[in-house]
């Protein structure tokens, strides 16, 4: 474990103590329902330009370096770490011994040290409570969060005054000048995303649910595609809403909490999440309050308003935090152009294509600096910012898992239909997408007679019992066929152009 000065560390603080400290010293407030509400200043999302991985003998040939995974030298990392330790001695920090990975075989210990009391409450909500001092945790990591420590870009050779640094050799994560709590969650997810493939485990940016028959469904998707909302289904139990590993034994959650987007949250559309955000252990982040009442329709702070809560405040939560081998794998794509079918059954090769492409629209992006306008994006593995290795590594593991499990992969459009976002289309209501998922999970979609539509040669149902009001061929929902073909061709070309980056690599489309 990285060496930390322990003289100013506070161990074992009760939730009540941390809550009171946040209220008195960190500008936190309580809502009318006694829920802690905080703000994070100018940065209301992840600072992608401020994320670094130490480039050393362990990582230099194993990380896909670039703008997402920016390198920092071991020497410079050590200089910044020593500055952090000097700063840490001047402030009181709170400590918990936690773990990421709800699997005895693949769990990772992490000692979370936070300058903010509410950050400590956050990691206790999101990570798994455990004891980092047992023999199980000889490989224990250190996560040190110091929002009050600002860097000197010219001296520290960083992009800004803030930074997130991952050091795999010394098993440490350092966050400086970052108040947005999601940075801590995604930092440890990135650590597991680097380590798990070496053990044959596929780490996934996905939700996981279980049905009455113990059938497991995975929901892949970027923020805004509906992953968390759709996983909070009244008819299914929740394993987790965001981060999982898929091993030969089945699926396990990497965390033990949810970090739900709250924009336009309502009881009618998302009753489980509505219930969760009113529980006393929940933390509301960047949510506008009016006389102590959250206004989830007010985006004046940010559209990326969040609620962080432990899984067990959700009705219908899988106690084991894990499940069997998945039967259904669903890629959620929020199609900006309105030309993807509501649901498609993918072949294995098509699954690799859409997994590597990761096409969707940025809707209320979680990243700092992203324009407020809805725009298309390609994010390999449906979460490129969190995956240190090359996309082909994760795609190869997905291929292996789908082949061995015989799981069926689907593409579901949670975006626009009957027109593009910019051409009078309408976004698919969450209730309609829930109906499609139920038809996937009970086998109606797979059993339906298929038709092949679009240049992507997608197999879609001709009709599905109980879904009579859905046009499965997207062209049939457009009044202007010339406009449909124009937007269709734009998306097809964009996807084909994006896939060119993988043309000179190992062929994942080879014969099975």
Distance CA 347, CA 410 (A): 9
Rounded Cα distance, 77 and 167, in Å: 8
In the set 40, 242, 244, 311, the catalytic residue is 242
CA angle 176, 177, 183 (to 5 degrees): 75
Cβ-contact 198, 213 below 8 angstroms: no
Active site residue 228: yes
Q: What gap in Å lies between CA 399 and CA 195, rounded to an integer?
A: 19
Spot the catalytic one: 43, 46, 272, 281. Answer: 46
Find, among 54, 51, 68, 100, the residue nearest to 390 by Cα. 68
Over the range 362-371, which residues count as b (16 or more CB within 10 Å of their CB) and which as e?
bbbbbebebe
* Dist CA 191 CA 168 (whole Å): 8
Residue 432 is among the residues annotated as catalytic for this protein: no
Active site residue 328: no
Angle at 244 between CA 235 and CA 444, to 5 degrees: 40
Clarify whether 179 is annotated catalytic.
no
Contact partners, residue 253, CB within 8 Å, separation at least 6 = 102, 208, 239, 240, 243, 244, 311, 321, 322
Q: Which candidate in 43, 124, 236, 306 is catalytic?
A: 306
Known catalytic residue at 414 = no
- Indicate left, alpha or beta for 291 from its phi (over 0: left) and psi (-120 to 50: alpha): left
Contacts of 412 (CB under 8 A, 6+ apart): 330, 331, 332, 333, 342, 343, 344, 433, 436, 437, 440
Extract the runs of DSSP E, i.e. beta strands, from 135-194: 141-146, 163-167, 172-176
Instruction: Residue count of the chain, please give it.
Output: 512
**Interstrand relation of 93-100 and 128-129 (parallel, antiparallel or unpaired):** antiparallel
Catalytic residue among 142, 228, 333, 360: 228
Q: Is 261 labeled as catalytic in the residue annotation? A: no
Residues near 292 by beta carbon (within 8 Å), at least 6 away in sequence: 29, 30, 31, 32
Three-state secondary structure call for residue 391: helix
Nearest to 398 by CA among 442, 459, 349: 349
169 is catalytic: no
Smallest CA-to-CA distance from 279 within 72, 496, 485, 34 is with: 34
Of the candidates 13, 145, 223, 433, the residue annotated as catalytic is: 223
Is 205 annotated as catalytic?
A: yes
Measured between alpha carbons, how far is 210 from 326 in angstroms, rounded to an integer? 9
Q: In the 8-state DSSP scheme, what is residue 454?
A: T
Catalytic residue among 83, 107, 172, 186: 186
Report the distance separating Cα 60 and Cα 57, nearest Å.
6
The catalytic position among 43, 205, 327, 401 is 205
> Active-site residues: which are they?
46, 186, 205, 223, 227-228, 242, 306
């Amino acid at each position: 474990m990285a060496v930390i000065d322990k003289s100013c560390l506070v161990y074992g603080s009760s939730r009540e103590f941390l809550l009171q400290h946040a209220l008195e010293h960190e500008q936190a407030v309580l809502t009318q329902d006694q829920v802690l509400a905080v703000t994070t200043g100018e940065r209301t999302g992840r600072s992608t330009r401020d994320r670094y991985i130490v480039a050393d003998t362990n990582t230099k040939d194993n990380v896909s370096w670039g703008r997402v995974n920016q390198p920092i030298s071991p020497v410079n990392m050590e200089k910044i770490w020593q500055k952090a330790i000097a700063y840490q001695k001047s402030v009181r920090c709170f400590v918990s011994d936690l773990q990421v990975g709800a699997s005895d075989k693949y769990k990772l210990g992490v000692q979370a040290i936070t300058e903010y009391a509410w950050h400590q409450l956050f990691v206790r909500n999101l990570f798994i409570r455990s004891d980092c001092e047992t023999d199980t945790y000889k490989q224990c990591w250190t996560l040190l969060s110091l929002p009050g420590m600002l860097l000197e870009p010219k001296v520290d050779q960083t992009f800004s005054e803030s930074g997130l640094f991952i050091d795999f050799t010394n098993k440490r994560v350092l966050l400086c000048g970052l108040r947005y709590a999601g940075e801590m969650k995604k930092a440890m997810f990135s650590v597991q995303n680097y380590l798990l493939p070496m053990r044959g485990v596929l780490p996934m940016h996905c939700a996981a649910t279980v049905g009455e028959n113990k059938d497991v469904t995975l929901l892949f998707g970027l923020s805004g595609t509906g992953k968390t909302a759709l996983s909070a289904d009244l008819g299914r139990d929740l394993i987790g809403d965001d981060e999982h590993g898929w091993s030969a034994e089945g699926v396990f959650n990497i965390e033990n909490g949810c970090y739900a987007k709250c924009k336009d949250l309502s009881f009618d559309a998302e009753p489980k999440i509505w219930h969760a955000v009113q529980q006393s252990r929940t933390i509301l982040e960047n949510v506008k309050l009016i006389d102590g009442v959250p206004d989830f329709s007010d985006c004046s702070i940010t559209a990326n308003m969040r609620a962080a809560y432990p899984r067990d405040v959700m009705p219908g939560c899988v106690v084991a935090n894990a499940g069997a081998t998945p039967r259904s794998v669903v890629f959620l794509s929020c199609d900006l152009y309105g030309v993807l079918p509501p649901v498609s059954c993918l072949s294995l090769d098509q699954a690799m294509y859409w997994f590597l492409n990761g096409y969707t629209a940025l809707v209320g992006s979680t990243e700092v600096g992203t324009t407020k306008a809805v725009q298309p994006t390609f994010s390999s593995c449906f979460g490129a910012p969190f995956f240190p290795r090359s996309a082909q590594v994760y795609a190869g593991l997905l291929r292996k898992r789908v082949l061995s499990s015989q799981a069926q992969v689907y593409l579901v459009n949670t975006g626009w239909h009957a027109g593009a976002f910019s051409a009078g289309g309408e976004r698919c209501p969450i209730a309609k997408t829930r109906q499609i998922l139920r038809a996937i999970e009970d086998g109606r979609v797979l059993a339906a007679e298929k038709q092949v539509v679009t240049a992507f040669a997608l197999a879609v149902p001709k009709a599905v019992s109980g879904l009579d009001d859905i046009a499965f061929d997207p062209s049939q929902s457009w009044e202007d066929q010339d406009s449909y073909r124009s937007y269709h061709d734009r998306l097809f070309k964009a996807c084909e152009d994006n896939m060119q980056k993988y043309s000179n690599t190992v062929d994942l489309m080879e014969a099975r």
